[in-house]
């Protein structure tokens, strides 16, 4: 189910980008999409082969022993599910911040930010190393929360369409964007996160709920997102946009001075 939701969301948003583009004149949309789709397929295979079964076993093991915060609370299934959803989204926020602030993790995460033309396929552009680290940490976080399989599935079914949409090049009117971003991350909010300006890159970390950035005061707004320049100043060459270049990105020493 998760796979087909992702495929349907990606196809729909990619089609919308062709009709209502924010940045126009992108004639090589499919050429840009291919490396992103390639790394997305590779990551999907890695997760399926290495982590899907292990994650299920860890969840069942923890549940059989009533491990985790949610197992210690007497809550109805609906309230428990809502808590699980919110807590896991908080974890996603913390993990995203860590990927920016810890140099070792940034080496892998910077591949995601090296995309010069943000679109729906950019939501798949994560280095396999980052995916592996994230999946390993989930084996600890999920039992600590006490999440059940159905709760994790519901979260991921919501997450995929939202991250595909907020990475997109769809020109969503600001009035509509502002209404939606009161609750969830929207395109105009997340586009700022992909700015070349470091203070903007280090903002708007949320995945689903936008209020984490407001609570932690990491929210940043750009009045006109059409003035944004995407990517990283030191990963502009074409070689870093190819599938091989993307895979090599964490393993090359590129001069970069943080603030």
Give the SS3 label for residue 114.
coil
Q: Does pLDDT of 2 surpass 90?
A: no
For the entire predicted model, the pTM comes to 0.94
Element of type H or E holding 173: none
Mean pLDDT of 18-33: 93
Q: Is residue 76 part of a domain?
A: yes
Mean pLDDT of 111-133: 97
Q: Is residue 7 part of a domain?
A: yes
Which band of pLDDT confidence, cut at 50, 70 and 90, is reported for residue 253? Answer: confident
Q: Is residue 131 part of a domain?
A: yes
Residue 192: name the closest of 217, 165, 226 by CA: 226
Q: What is the dihedral of CA 257, 221, 98, 196, to 10 degrees?
A: -30
Q: Which domain holds residue 73?
A: 2-251
Q: Is residue 223 part of a domain?
A: yes
Give the SS3 label for residue 105.
helix
Average pLDDT over the chain, rounded to an integer: 94
pLDDT value of position 257: 45
Q: Is residue 124 part of a domain?
A: yes
Give the SS3 label for residue 195.
strand
Q: Is residue 256 part of a domain?
A: no
Mean pLDDT of 179-186: 97
Q: What is the pLDDT of residues 63-77, one digit of tens each?
A: 999 999 999 888 899
Q: Is residue 164 part of a domain?
A: yes
Interhelix angle 128-145/103-113, nearest 10 degrees: 120
Mean pLDDT of 176-196: 97
Of 114-118, 205-209, 232-236, the one with minimum mean pLDDT is 232-236
pLDDT value of position 255: 61
Q: Is residue 132 part of a domain?
A: yes
Mean pLDDT of 71-95: 95
Q: What is the pLDDT of residues 154-182, one digit of tens each?
A: 999 999 999 999 999 999 999 999 999 99
Distance spanning both ends of the chain, measured CA to CA:
43
Q: What percentage of residues in the chain have a pLDDT greater than 70?
A: 98
Domain count, the chain: 1
Q: Does pLDDT of 256 surpass 60?
A: no
Give the SS3 label for residue 209.
strand
Mean pLDDT of 236-243: 92
How far apart, in whole angstroms, are the C-alpha atoms of residue 22 and residue 225?
9
Contact present, 126 and 114 (Cβ < 8 Å):
no
Q: Record the tokens describing residue 173, joined without a space.
A: 């009117």
């Amino acid at each position: 189910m998760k796979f087909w939701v992702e495929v349907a969301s990606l196809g729909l948003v990619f089609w919308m980008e062709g009709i209502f583009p924010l940045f126009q004149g992108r004639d090589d949309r499919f050429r840009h999409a291919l490396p992103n789709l390639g790394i997305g397929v590779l990551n999907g295979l890695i997760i399926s082969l290495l982590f899907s079964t292990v994650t299920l076993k860890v969840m069942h093991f923890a549940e059989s022993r009533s491990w985790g915060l949610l197992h210690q609370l007497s809550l109805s299934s609906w309230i428990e599910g809502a808590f699980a959803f919110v807590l896991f989204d908080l974890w996603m926020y913390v993990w995203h911040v860590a990927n920016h602030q810890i140099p070792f993790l940034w080496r892998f995460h910077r591949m995601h930010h090296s995309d010069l033309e943000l679109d729906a396929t950019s939501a798949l552009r994560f280095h396999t190393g980052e995916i592996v680290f994230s999946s390993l940490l989930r084996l600890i976080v999920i039992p600590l929360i006490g999440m059940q399989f159905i709760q994790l599935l519901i979260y991921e079914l919501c997450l995929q369409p939202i991250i595909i949409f907020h990475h997109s090049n769809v020109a969503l009117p600001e009035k509509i964007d502002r209404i939606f971003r009161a609750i969830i991350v929207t395109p105009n909010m997340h586009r700022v996160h992909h700015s070349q300006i470091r203070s903007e890159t280090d903002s708007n970390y949320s995945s689903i709920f936008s209020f984490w950035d407001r609570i932690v005061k990491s929210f940043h707004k750009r009045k006109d997102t059409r003035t944004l320049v995407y990517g990283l100043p030191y990963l502009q060459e074409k070689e870093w946009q190819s599938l091989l270049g993307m895979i090599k990105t964490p393993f090359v020493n590129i001069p970069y001075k943080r603030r």
